[in-house]
């Protein structure tokens, strides 16, 4: 990861970004001075000078070093604080539509983040938080109150991070304490029951210690007046820099949610006929209780002018508990939906620790930036689910004329498992500077993985132990200071759970990816673009055994190839844009039950987005105003694994307006889904479809103290 000096510089860099988040003005006279936060006296460095607005010139998660993005042989899209602010993003989910190659998947009733990158689900290793696993187990949807930026890392990340999908992952960089005092508060209200308040405060506690505290409370928007949800978050952070060679940081995050398990609507023989606010579960069911407690501790030390070390640990604990009415099937009359009463608790604990060293040196006329590290992690996941019987359709509901308040049938234990995963990994990465124009990146990681699953109802247990080697190599050519071209190859793996008919553990899924692309950024680092072509082949996907349909075999294959284009930044002092385009062909290539060529579920062939903002001086009233629009297009998608029904293409439009009254106060009004479009972002299985919200108004005020 970055050096101590770089980390301190990044603290200052984050501080400047935080200032821009509070005052996203293109007028330099009104914007916070860039040097304002670079006053860390113990670490005598200046603020990062690279990038502005929507353009980031580095991303900590891409190589875990200070390598500029233009030299990294990989497509990386950074959603900056400024872009999040213009989008009105309060969650990770509010940003994904504006990044190429990312598609929405089933979000488990609105309780977790689940997206596909380049066609492959990110559920298993969906995102990292400051480089640590952040989405293993059962996690609430990621809130943006503590987030400095989202780094979308395209392509396999296994050479650095171990097990994961080949399409990519997301690294979440959180807000860090500053050595300049600042406090900001925001309140916003909207339709569909939305209410939100946040406080973000930071200050020094002496010459070497600083704190940051983020607090958030929200009444979440709901598609039906029969539902509501509440969310609370407290996130303290401390930074200690006793000298210019040492940095110790602690970050905590504690979240509590009360939310329904909203399964959405059902399709009727592939037709989507129900109104989007139709609720087919039980309003009297209490909300689910979700909790998330996270602790991260990192220590960095500059050993010499050439070598530095970093040691870190992360502990995350999650809870998920409550009742919900679960869908069964739609009967032959086309209107009676069978349901089951259900109760579940899904606890999980995720612990990981890492130690690494980075060195810069020259040999044989070549420059090297070498990273070597070891990592160990342990994940526990419990699952206890009880269901009522579907017999006699006692809990069924009419989807066209629902009647609520039926007597709740008793539940009986249906699933009770305990899963433990342990992993030890070692990785080596070398970034070779051949000369000013040619850069070579090569890396490899070795993982040893152990998994056990105990079924408490049947007393059956499965065990497996697997090893994997994940290489990565890429070459970058920089013909001009603004342009670079790259070619890369990487492999990834992901363990398969369960056993085959013989009782043996499955071999892990593995994939290989080839990527080529172009990157461009303007000389003033205010405008950038990335074009990427990719080809991914995935093997050992589980498929039904032809010899015994009660078991799977690891012989399935899938492929995804396509093109991505992102362009973003400030066109001039008044205009800024963020745009994306994706062409993705993600299909099954070999399976025993699904026809080859079948599209992967929920993956559009074409998707695109455009956000355009104009900012200028406000006539008569003073300050500055901003007005803009965001347009998202998503093509039609396969609704289930066998592609027997489709989700229709859709386009949504949002309107963004604000008035920066002065350096301290900002008023804003956003309108989401301006045209009140009925659309379906995702589906789940053969029956369930997830509707989007209708037209929503959100107004608010932000003030800096």
Encoding tokens for residue 460? Answer: 């059956």
- Homologous superfamily (CATH) of 4-170+181-704 is TonB-dependent receptor, beta-barrel domain (2.40.170.20)
Q: How much of the chain exceeds pLDDT 90, in percent?
A: 79
How buried is 550 (Cβ within 10 angstroms: 0-12 exposed, 13-18 middle, 19+ buried)?
exposed
Q: How confident is the model at residue 121 (pLDDT cuts 50, 70, 90)?
A: confident
C-alpha distances out from residue 31 to 53, 79, 666, Å: 12, 20, 13
| Token pair for 427 | 């990785």
| Rounded-to-10 torsion of CA 130, 135, 136, 140 | 130
Structure tokens at 196: 């939100």
Highest mean pLDDT among 32-36, 37-41, 487-491 belongs to: 487-491
Reported as a single tens digit per residue, the pLDDT across 139-171 is 899 999 999 999 999 999 999 999 988 999 999
Angstrom distance (rounded) from CA 112 to CA 385: 18
The answer to whether residue 388 scores a pLDDT higher than 90 is: yes
pLDDT digits (tens, 9 = 90+) for 58-94: 998 999 999 999 999 999 999 999 999 999 999 999 9
Quick one: which H or E segment has residue 6? helix 4-22
Length of the chain: 705
Q: How confident is the model at residue 27 (pLDDT cuts 50, 70, 90)?
A: very low
The pLDDT tens digits for 172-202 are 999 999 999 999 999 999 999 999 999 999 9
How confident is the model over 218-236, as pLDDT tens digits? 999 999 999 999 999 999 9
User: What is the rounded CA–CA span in Å between residue 306 and residue 358?
Assistant: 8
Burial of 216 (0-12, 13-18, 19+ CB in 10 A): buried
Cα–Cα distance measured from residue 7 to residue 11, given in angstroms and rounded to the nearest whole number: 6
Task: Specify the pTM.
Answer: 0.91
The domain locations on the chain are 4-170+181-704
- Could you give the maximum distance between any two Cα atoms of the chain, in Å? 79
Residue 43 has pLDDT above 70, yes or no: no
Q: For residues 101 and 564, what is the distance between their CA atoms, to the nearest angstrom?
A: 6
User: 457: exposed, middle or buried (C-beta count within 10 Å: 0-12, 13-18, 19+)?
Assistant: exposed
In terms of average pLDDT, the best of 3-12, 293-302, 386-395, 460-469 is: 293-302
Q: How confident is the model at residue 390 (pLDDT cuts 50, 70, 90)?
A: confident
Label residue 13 by pLDDT band (50, 70, 90): very low
Please give the pLDDT value at position 447. Answer: 96
Nearest to 216 by CA among 99, 91, 121: 91
Alpha-carbon span 671 to 223, nearest angstrom:
16
Q: Which of 294-298, 331-335, 473-477 has the lowest mean pLDDT?
A: 331-335
Instruction: Dump pLDDT digits (tens) for 326-381.
Output: 999 999 999 999 999 999 999 999 999 999 999 999 998 999 999 999 999 999 99
- For residues 602-623, one letter each, b for 16 or more C-beta atoms within 10 angstroms of the residue's C-beta and e for the rest, the string is bbbeebbbbbbbebeeeeeeeb
Question: In this structure, are residues 244 and 273 in contact, taking their beta carbons and an 8 Å threshold?
Answer: no
Quick one: pLDDT band at residue 550, thresholds 50, 70, 90?
A: low
């Amino acid at each position: 990861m970055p050096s101590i000096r770089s980390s301190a510089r990044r603290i200052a860099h984050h501080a400047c970004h935080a200032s821009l988040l509070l005052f996203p003005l293109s007028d330099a006279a009104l914007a916070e001075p860039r040097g304002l936060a670079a006053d860390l006296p113990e670490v005598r460095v200046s603020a990062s000078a690279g990038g502005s607005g929507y353009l980031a010139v580095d991303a900590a998660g891409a190589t875990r070093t200070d390598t500029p993005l233009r030299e990294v042989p990989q497509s990386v899209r950074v959603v900056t604080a400024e872009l999040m602010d213009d989008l009105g993003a309060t969650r990770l989910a509010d940003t994904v539509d504006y990044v190429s190659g990312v598609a929405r998947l089933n979000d488990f009733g609105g309780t977790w983040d689940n997206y596909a990158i380049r066609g492959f689900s990110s559920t298993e290793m969906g995102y990292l938080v400051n480089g640590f696993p952040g989405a293993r187990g059962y996690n609430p949807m990621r809130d943006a109150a503590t987030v400095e930026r989202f780094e979308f890392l395209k392509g396999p990340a296994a050479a650095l991070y171990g097990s994961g999908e080949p399409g990519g992952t997301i690294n979440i960089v959180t807000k860090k304490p500053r050595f300049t005092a600042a406090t900001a508060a925001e309140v916003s209200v909207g339709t569909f029951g939305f209410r939100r308040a946040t406080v973000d405060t930071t200050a020094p506690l002496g010459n070497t210690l600083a704190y940051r505290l983020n607090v958030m409370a929200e009444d979440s928007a709901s598609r039906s007046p029969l539902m509501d949800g509440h969310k609370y978050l407290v996130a303290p952070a401390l930074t200690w820099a006793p000298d210019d060679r040492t940095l110790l940081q602690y970050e905590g995050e504690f979240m509590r949610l009360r939310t329904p398990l909203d399964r959405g609507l059902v399709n009727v023989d592939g037709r989507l006929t129900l109104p989007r606010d139709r609720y087919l579960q039980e309003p009297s069911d209490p909300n689910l209780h979700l909790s998330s407690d996270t602790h991260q501790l990192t220590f960095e030390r500059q050993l010499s002018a050439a070598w530095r070390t970093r040691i870190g640990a992360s502990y995350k604990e999650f809870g998920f508990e409550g009742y919900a009415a679960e869908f069964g099937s739609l009967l032959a009359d086309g209107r009676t939906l069978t349901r089951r009463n259900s109760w579940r608790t899904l606890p999980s604990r995720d612990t990981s620790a890492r130690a690494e060293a980075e060195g810069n040196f020259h040999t044989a006329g070549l420059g090297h930036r070498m990273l070597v590290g070891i990592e160990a992690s342990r994940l526990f996941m419990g699952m206890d689910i009880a269901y009522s019987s579907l017999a006699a359709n006692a809990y069924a509901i009419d989807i066209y004329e629902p009647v609520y308040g039926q007597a709740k049938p008793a539940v009986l234990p249906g699933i009770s498992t305990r899963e433990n995963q342990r992993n030890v990994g070692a990785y080596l990465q070398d970034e070779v500077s051949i000369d000013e124009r040619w850069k070579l990146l090569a890396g490899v990681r070795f993982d040893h993985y152990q998994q056990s699953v105990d079924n408490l109802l049947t007393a059956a247990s499965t065990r497996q132990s697997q090893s994997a080697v994940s290489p990565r190599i890429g070459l970058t050519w920089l013909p001009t200071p603004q342009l670079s071209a790259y070619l890369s190859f990487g492999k990834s793996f992901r363990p398969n759970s369960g056993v085959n008919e013989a009782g043996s553990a499955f071999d892990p899924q593995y994939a290989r990816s080839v990527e080529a692309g172009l990157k461009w950024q303007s000389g003033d680092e205010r405008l950038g673009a990335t074009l990427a072509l990719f080809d991914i082949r995935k093997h050992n996907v589980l498929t039904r055994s032809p010899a015994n349909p009660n078991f799977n075999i690891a012989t399935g294959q899938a492929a995804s190839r396509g093109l991505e284009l992102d362009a973003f930044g400030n066109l001039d002092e008044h205009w800024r844009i963020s745009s994306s385009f994706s062409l993705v062909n993600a299909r099954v290539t070999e399976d025993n039950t699904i026809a080859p060529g079948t599209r992967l579920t929920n993956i559009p062939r074409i998707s695109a987005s455009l956000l355009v903002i104009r900012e200028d001086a406000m006539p008569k009233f003073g300050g500055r105003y901003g007005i803009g629009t965001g347009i998202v297009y998503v093509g039609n998608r396969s609704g289930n694994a066998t592609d027997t029904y489709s989700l229709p293409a859709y386009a949504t439009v949002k309107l963004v307006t604000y008035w920066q009254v002065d350096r301290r106060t900002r008023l804003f009004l956003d309108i989401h889904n301006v045209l009140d479009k009925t659309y379906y972002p995702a589906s789940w299985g053969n029956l369930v479809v997830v509707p989007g919200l209708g037209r929503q108004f959100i107004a608010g005020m932000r003030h800096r103290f």
